């Protein structure tokens, strides 16, 4: 029941418990093909009853996070049940495919039987064929209804005659006959005898060392990720305890819980901050705040934090190891002579950082296609010219070999160096060496920490190069980003890979998470969409058109299954054309390869040496052309680049070889071809899409599934079709980058103060405080019966939010409510609150015109009092509507609006006040039930309600504190903008020198920062983004945009306007094209960084010389540090 939560309040800001899940469970003994496969289907209702008695949607966030832990528990209980009943013994067996977790299988069962009982679904295969035929005949995809009819046809065509549901005895008899056909009676009886009837020992729960298992579980997880939550730990604890048999399920669950608590206690360090105490009205039953997500706490280990701390320290640890200036100058000259062009400012900054930083560890960031290799060639030439070595390391043998070839040095893997060191072998690292790690974002934190220690021990230095926004480490990651950010690492900004110059800038915007770039790919006809099965055929067809030309192309997919399908299509086509021979030998992906096929090896094997080369070995990721398929299952292959040959043994072919026509995104990183064809799926994240779309020089084509063939085995509503643009935007918005535990800890320290968290909770508290007043108004205008119905409905909270919004916009909400009530009958409404919410929306829209007309009546008085400056006030689209709304509300409370304007004018010392200043004064004079406004708070966040009889004083006090915290956070954002000047502040112009203008700039920056933080504007390429179509975000946008105009007036472009809306100007930098923005600021920043890097390099040189002199004086006779 801990997963059965539901959301309350507007936008689901709060999470409360429910009374439990409703589900239906189906236990199945076989799969769709009739193969033995004991499993359970659980259909969970998406509706739950909250503890407040209201029915709402299930909050799936917790359910999603614990899915793996629940699966592990289910598998554990199945294994324990079978073991206890049959006396079986389970053991780990390598998972199918590469990098798959080991699976548990019963010992003694022949592999041939496992393969026999894992057949492909005949119904699905036939349905795919029928859909394909329909598409060819009619020239379009079949509708959902047609697909269901085709599914029925596929079922009938593939069903065996007279195959009614079978009893368990009948199924067992059938399975036995099939097993006999595969392995024979003697082998089957032997397997049954071996695998069953073993003596099972029941574990004494009291004898289990909870702490030891907890340490093991945390150690295993810490090798895979930098942080974890309760469900990660629980899943690993289930795996650790699985070999044990307990007396009962309750005992196993109790032990699992104790070990989990031990792992999260003494063995882990909590990263997320404990939330401050909240009022009882905002608490769940366990005392936790409803503004938090159950089970969302994250943890790490002391070992991970220590490793990250050492890496950051190494980036600030001086050494005497750096290159002389003349070596750099000579290497630059050699580059210019060799290439015919000079290095750009960004590359020079990177080269100088690596050569002159003098730090034990230094990092550089290079987005895709920015010429990292070119810059590193200069680094290598300069370093080696002084007589010292450069050791090029990569995360994989293939990457290391490519790196070594490109730089003219020997490429090695990080693991090779670490293994040699651990076994006390020669690492090849001499004093003064530079250890250059490419694709450092894919290297684990632990490995980089150990590598840096080895470098320090040998008098060498480490240089990391990579991109935190490309694919991350398989193990614990985030180190590259941490080191880069903590040491002001230079970043390459000029992209040279693409022949379309616009695409260079678009790729950087994609990397930054700018979802608007989806429009560029669509405008360039780079996006095809359709049904998932048809898109695979389109990818293959496009690739096949260029596969036999001089144009190099690559098929890329996100999953091994999709890659296998593309490879299968490619081989089938090549067989039909006679380009490969029939037959062939079995590969690890279940396909076959024969002479003429292209395969990829997926495992490093140093014992497999390639003839015709200088000691080349078989590496993971190598592509080979098959020359001969031998009868024993081996393959003779030739490398298409270096031309080496080798006969791959049959066992290696069977376990570690796949067809190589298509590649996963992970395998494609580092490749460059002319064209790429990317088969998208909606599980991808931004980093995967970025890697895929930056492989092709000429063209990168996306194939986006918006629909899929119905599943004939599941009875459910077929999901609606998606829009391709939405799919791409969602992927771009999904950040999958590794974040170090240190950065998570820093973020967690301020997360409770951030406005995306604070404002929603504060406004919900205001709605709770105001609920009794609104209840009374609803009872008076709706009648007691309808009022009781509304208050009991789940949509009541959103109605209260809408009603308060109507009041804030200046409407006389009570008569408006009565008018909305009388529009039509409400007896037939499924939700009266929802209908009234909708009706109020129409009145709010109409009320805007009414409000505008009312405001026009007081404009003459405003002009009389403020003269020419009145036009500035009236032109403030952000604050003037709120000021007019407040004056109208004051009028209803008995205050004449014309007299109010006169009072406002007399009370101000500033001769030219802004509309925001007047609004602040008006709210102080006529608070209308609210506290005084803090001018530092976001202008769209109203002050808290005043104390009054009948409301929760604890909630009121909490609301006041939260408002103060929101104002303080906004002030902090403004101060940070002045002190740190993050990239987005360039849209506001330079920070003024004069105190008054500087203060206005800082306040505006605070408001902008608050908007960006609350509404999730992450990109630096826009200040506040496009205007939202409606709601509070649109109101906030108007107010912030009006403030921006007071400090700067850059060129404006139209914001997105929905149907019937007027296009509103948005504050963005001038752009020559609405999609492509050639950002000079990037290059200017790169040049500034290069100049600063050179200045710092000279300063560091002087400091290192002095340090070296002092060290030599103190440590005479010890290891002599060398300056190269």
pLDDT attached to residue 297: 92
- The domain in which residue 578 lies consists of 514-733
Highest-pLDDT range among 148-152, 769-773, 1077-1081, 1097-1101: 769-773
Check whether residue 88 and residue 102 sit in a common domain: yes
Q: Give the three-class secondary structure for 224.
A: coil
* Cα–Cα distance, 386 to 325 (Å, whole number): 11
d(CA 388, CA 380) in angstroms, rounded, equals 10
Band of the pLDDT at 824, cuts 50, 70, 90? confident
Quick count: other Cβ atoms within 10 Å of Cβ 390?
Answer: 21
What is d(CA 884, CA 870) in angstroms, rounded to the nearest whole number?
13
What pLDDT score was predicted for residue 1071? 37
Distances, alpha carbon 1087 to alpha carbons 493, 990, 1090, in Å: 10, 18, 5
Check pLDDT > 50 for residue 1063. Answer: no
Q: Give pLDDT, residue 148.
A: 59
Q: Could you read off the pLDDT of 316-334 as tens digits, one per residue?
A: 999 999 999 999 999 999 9
Q: Annotate 283-325 with DSSP letters as a single string.
A: B-TTS-BTTS-TT---EE-HHHHHHHHHHHHHTT-B-S----H
Q: Which residue has the higher pLDDT, 934 or 350?
A: 350
Domain's final residue, options 142, 168, 195: 195
Is the CB of residue 1040 less than 8 Å from the CB of residue 1024?
yes
The answer on 381 and 291 residing in a single domain is no
Q: Does residue 726 belong to any structural domain of this protein?
A: yes
Average pLDDT, the chain: 85
In order of 309, 509, 757, 915, 1046, the CA distances from 1005 in angstroms are 33, 23, 20, 18, 11
Amino acid 152: pLDDT? 60
Rg (CA), the chain: 34
Asked whether the predicted pLDDT for residue 359 surpasses 50, the reply is: yes
- Last-in-domain residue among 283, 300, 317: 300
Q: What is the mean pLDDT of residues 106-117?
A: 85
Q: Is residue 189 part of a domain?
A: yes
Question: DSSP letters along 76-111, please?
Answer: HHHHHHHHHHH---EEEEPPSSTTPPPEEEETT--H
Looking at the structure, tell me whether residues 143 and 268 fall in a common domain: no
293 and 315 in a common domain: no
The CA-atom distances, in angstroms, between 761 and each of 283, 472, 794, 800, 803 are 12, 34, 18, 15, 18
Round to whole Å and give the CA distance between 900 and 919. 12
Are 333 and 364 within one domain? yes
Same domain, 125 and 142: yes
Q: Would residue 322 count as lying in a domain?
A: yes
Looking at the structure, tell me whether residues 63 and 139 fall in a common domain.
yes
Band (225; pLDDT cuts 50, 70, 90): very high
Domain limit, last residue, from 704, 733, 762: 733
Tell me what percent of the residues of the chain surpass a pLDDT of 90: 49
CA dihedral 340, 345, 348, 349 (to 10 degrees): -170
Residue 113 belongs to a domain: yes
CA distance 459 to 436: 14
- pTM score: 0.82
Q: Are residues 294 and 310 in the same domain?
A: no
476 confidence band (pLDDT: 50, 70, 90)? confident
CATH number of the domain where residue 720 is located:
3.40.50
The per-residue DSSP string of 689-714 comes to HHHHHTSEEEEEEEEEEEE----TT-
Are 293 and 324 contained in the same domain?
A: no
Asked if residue 961 belongs to a domain, the reply is no
368 with 287, same domain: the answer is: no
Q: What is the largest CA-CA distance in the chain?
A: 107
Neighbours of 77 (CB within 10 A): 15
620 in a domain, yes or no? Answer: yes
Going by C-beta distance under 8 Å and a sequence separation of 6 or more, which residues neighbour residue 357?
322, 1097, 1100
Q: Is residue 316 part of a domain?
A: yes
In this structure, what are the phi and psi dihedrals at residue 218, rounded to the nearest 5 degrees?
Answer: -65, -40
Contact call for residues 467 and 368 (beta carbons, < 8 A): yes
* 565 shares a domain with 692: yes
Looking at the fold, whether 70 and 132 belong to one and the same domain comes out as: yes
Dihedral in degrees, nearest 10, Cα atoms 1084, 1090, 1094, 1099: 80
Question: 22-32: b or e for each residue (b if 16 or more CB lie within 10 Å)?
Answer: eeeeeeeebbe
Mean pLDDT of 151-162: 55
Per-residue pLDDT tens over the stretch 443-468: 999 999 999 999 999 999 999 999 99
Q: Phi-psi category of 387—alpha, beta or left, where left has phi over 0 and alpha has psi -120 to 50?
A: left
Closest among 527, 526, 535 to 498, alpha carbons compared? 526
Asked whether residue 1068 is assigned to any structural domain, the reply reads no
Residue 1050 pLDDT > 70: no
Query: What is the DSSP pairing of strand 1052-1054 with strand 5-8?
Result: unpaired
According to the model, what pLDDT value does residue 147 have?
63
Q: What is the pLDDT of residues 866-883, one digit of tens each?
A: 888 888 888 877 678 888
* 416 — pLDDT class (breaks 50, 70, 90): very high
pLDDT on residue 219: 95
Q: Could you give the residue ranges of the DSSP H alpha helices within 324-474?
A: 325-339, 345-356, 372-384, 397-407, 414-422, 445-458
Secondary structure in 3-state letters for 540-555? HHHHHHHHCCCCCEEE
CATH number at residue 390: 3.40.50.300
| Calpha distance 818→971 (Å, rounded) | 42
- Number of independent structural domains in the chain: 4
E strand or H helix at 598: strand 598-601
What is the per-residue pLDDT for 517? 92
Q: What are phi and psi of 1065, to 5 degrees?
A: -70, 140
């Amino acid at each position: 029941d801990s997963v059965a939560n539901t959301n309350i309040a507007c936008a689901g800001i709060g999470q409360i418990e429910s009374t439990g899940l409703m589900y239906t469970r189906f236990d199945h003994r076989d799969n769709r093909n009739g193969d033995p496969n004991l499993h359970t289907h659980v259909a969970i209702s998406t509706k739950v009853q909250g503890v407040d008695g209201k029915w709402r949607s299930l909050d799936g966030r917790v359910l999603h996070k614990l899915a793996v832990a629940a699966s592990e528990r289910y598998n554990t209980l199945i294994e324990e049940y079978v073991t206890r009943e049959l006396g079986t013994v389970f053991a780990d067996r390598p998972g199918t495919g590469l990098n798959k977790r080991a699976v548990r299988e019963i010992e003694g069962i022949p592999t041939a039987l496992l393969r026999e009982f894992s057949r492909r679904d005949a119904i699905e295969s036939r349905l795919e064929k029928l859909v394909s035929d329909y598409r060819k005949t009619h020239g379009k995809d079949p509708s959902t209804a047609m697909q269901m009819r085709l599914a029925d046809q596929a079922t009938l065509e593939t069903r065996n005659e007279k195959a009614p549901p079978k009893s368990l005895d009948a199924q067992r008899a059938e399975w036995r006959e099939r097993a006999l056909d595969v392995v024979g009676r003697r082998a089957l009886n032997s397997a049954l005898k071996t695998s069953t009837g073993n003596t099972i020992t029941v574990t004494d729960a009291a004898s289990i060392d909870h702490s030891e298992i907890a340490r093991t579980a945390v150690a295993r997880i810490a090798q895979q990720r930098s942080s974890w939550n309760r469900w990660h730990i629980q899943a690993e604890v289930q795996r650790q305890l699985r070999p044990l048999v307990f007396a009962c399920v309750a005992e196993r669950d109790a032990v699992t819980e104790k070990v989990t608590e031990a792992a999260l206690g003494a063995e882990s360090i909590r990263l997320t901050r404990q939330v401050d105490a909240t009022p009882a009205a905002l608490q769940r039953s366990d005392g936790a705040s409803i503004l938090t997500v159950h089970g969302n706490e994250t943890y790490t280990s002391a070992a991970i934090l220590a490793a990250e701390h050492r890496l950051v320290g190494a980036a600030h640890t001086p050494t005497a190891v750096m290159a002389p200036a003349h070596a750099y100058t000579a290497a630059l000259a050699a580059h210019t002579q060799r290439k015919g062009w000079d290095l750009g400012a960004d590359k020079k900054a990177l080269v100088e950082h690596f050569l002159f930083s003098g730090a034990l560890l230094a990092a550089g960031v290079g987005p895709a296609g920015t010429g990292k290799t070119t810059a590193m060639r200069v680094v290598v030439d300069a370093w080696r010219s002084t007589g010292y070595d450069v050791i090029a390391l990569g995360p994989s043998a293939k990457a290391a070999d490519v790196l070594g070839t490109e730089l003219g040095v020997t490429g090695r893997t990080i693991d090779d160096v670490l293994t040699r060191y651990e076994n006390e072998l020669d690492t090849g690292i001499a004093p003064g060496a530079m250890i250059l790690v490419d694709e450092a974002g894919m290297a684990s934190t632990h490995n980089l920490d150990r590598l840096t220690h080895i470098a320090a021990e040998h008098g060498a230095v480490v240089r990391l190069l990579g991109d935190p926004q490309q694919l991350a480490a398989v193990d614990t990651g985030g180190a590259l980003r941490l080191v880069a950010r903590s040491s002001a690492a230079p970043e390459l900004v000029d992209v040279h890979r693409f022949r379309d110059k616009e695409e260079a800038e678009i790729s950087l915007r994609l990397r930054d998470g700018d979802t608007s770039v989806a429009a560029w790919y669509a405008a360039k006809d780079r996006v095809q969409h359709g049904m998932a099965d048809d898109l695979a055929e389109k990818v293959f067809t496009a690739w096949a058109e260029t596969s036999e030309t001089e144009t190099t192309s690559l098929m890329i997919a996100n999953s091994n299954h999709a890659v296998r399908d593309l490879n299968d299509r490619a081989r089938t086509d090549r067989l039909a054309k006679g380009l490969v021979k029939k037959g062939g030998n079995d590969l690890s992906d279940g396909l076959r390869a024969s002479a003429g096929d292209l395969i990829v090896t997926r495992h490093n094997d140093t014992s497999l040496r390639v003839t015709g080369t200088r000691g080349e070995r078989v590496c993971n990721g190598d592509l080979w052309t098959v020359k001969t398929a031998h009868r024993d299952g081996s393959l003779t292959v030739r490398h298409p680049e270096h031309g080496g040959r080798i006969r791959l043994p049959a066992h290696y072919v069977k376990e570690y070889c796949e067809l190589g026509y298509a590649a996963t995104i992970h395998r494609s990183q580092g490749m460059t071809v002319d064209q790429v064809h990317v088969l998208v799926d909606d599980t991808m994240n931004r980093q995967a899409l970025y890697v895929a779309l930056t492989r092709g020089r000429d063209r990168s084509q996306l194939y986006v599934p918006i629909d899929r063939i119905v599943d004939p085995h599941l009875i459910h509503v077929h999901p609606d079709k998606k829009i391709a643009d939405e799919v791409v935007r969602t992927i771009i918005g999904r950040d999958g980058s590794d974040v170090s535990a240190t950065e998570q800890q820093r973020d967690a320290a301020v997360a409770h103060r951030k406005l995306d968290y604070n404002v929603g909770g504060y406004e919900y508290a205001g709605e709770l405080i105001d609920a009794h007043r609104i209840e009374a108004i609803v009872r008076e205008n709706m009648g007691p019966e309808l009022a009781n119905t509304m208050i009991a409905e789940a949509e009541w909270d959103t109605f209260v939010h809408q009603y308060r919004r109507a009041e804030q916009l200046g409407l006389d909400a009570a008569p408006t409510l009565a008018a909305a009530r009388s529009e039509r009958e409400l007896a037939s409404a499924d939700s009266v609150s929802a209908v009234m919410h909708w009706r109020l929306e129409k009145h709010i829209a109409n009320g805007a015109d009414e409000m505008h007309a009312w405001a026009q009546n007081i404009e003459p008085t405003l002009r009389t009092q403020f003269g020419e400056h009145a036009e500035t006030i009236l032109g403030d689209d952000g604050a003037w509507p709120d000021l007019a709304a407040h004056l109208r509300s004051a009028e209803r409370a008995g205050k004449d609006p014309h007299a109010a304007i006169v009072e406002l004018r007399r009370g101000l010392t500033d001769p030219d006040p802004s509309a925001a200043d007047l609004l602040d004064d008006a709210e102080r004079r006529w608070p209308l039930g609210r506290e005084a406004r803090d001018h530092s708070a976001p202008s769209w966040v109203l002050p808290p309600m005043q104390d009054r009889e009948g409301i929760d004083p604890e909630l009121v006090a909490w609301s006041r504190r939260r408002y103060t915290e929101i104002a303080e956070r906004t002030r902090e954002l403004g101060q940070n903008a002045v002190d740190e000047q993050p990239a987005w502040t360039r849209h506001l112009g330079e920070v003024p020198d004069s105190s008054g203008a500087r203060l206005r700039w800082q306040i505006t920056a605070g408001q902008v920062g608050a908007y960006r933080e609350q509404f999730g504007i992450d990109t630096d390429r826009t200040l506040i983004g496009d205007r939202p179509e409606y709601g509070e975000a649109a109101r906030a946008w108007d107010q912030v945009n009006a403030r921006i105009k007071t400090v700067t007036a850059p060129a404006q472009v139209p914001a997105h306007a929905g149907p019937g809306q007027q296009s509103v100007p948005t504050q963005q930098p001038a752009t020559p094209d609405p999609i492509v923005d050639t950002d000079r600021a990037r290059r200017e920043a790169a040049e500034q960084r290069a100049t600063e890097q050179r200045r710092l390099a000279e300063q560091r040189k002087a400091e290192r010389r002095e340090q070296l002199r002092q060290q030599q004086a103190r440590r005479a006779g010890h290891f002599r540090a060398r300056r190269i």
